[in-house]
Amino acid sequence: MIAVDTNILVYAHREDSPFHVEALVAMKGLAEGDRRWAIPWPCVHEFIAIVTHPAIYRPPTPLNLALESLRVWIESSMCQCIGEGPGYFERLRDILVPGKVAGPMVHDARVAAICLHNGVTELWSSDRDFSRYRALRTVNPLLGKKA
C-alpha cells in the first residue's frame, strides 16, 4: 500500500506551489486508480495547519476549501486514513531508538511508524528525512525516483 506525506498533499492543493502540476497528477492517479493507498492522520492535520496558515501562504486557503480537498481524496474508493492502534508503541520505539530520533524529527518518525504499523510499503514524499527509516521505501513522485 502507498501512503502520501503532507508535502505532496500541499503541492497538489496549492496552485502556487512549485510542484503543483506534478503533485496534482500523482494524486489524481491515486484517487482514480485501483491501488489501495492511505493518508496518515498526522498528515491530514499538518496539511490543514500549513495551507490555512497566513504566515506560510498569502492568501491562506480558507478552511472550508482545505477540508473539501481532503474530503475528495479521503472519499476516493481506494483511500483510507491510517493512525495508531494496538501495538503501535512498539513500532514507534523500534524506529526511534536505532535512528536516535529526538526533537522535531519525532513527527516524521510518527508518520513512518504509522505507515509501517498499517502495512504501508511505500511512502510518497519529497522529504528526504524519511530515508532514515529503511523499512519504509520512500518515493518522490514529483521526480519519479527514490527520495
pTM for the structure as a whole? 0.94
Q: Does the domain spanning 2-141 belong to CATH 3.40.50.1820? A: no
Domain ranges of the chain: 2-141
pLDDT at 144 over 70: no
Assess whether pLDDT exceeds 70 at residue 146: no
Q: Is the peptide bond before 40 cis (omega within 30 degrees of 0)?
A: no
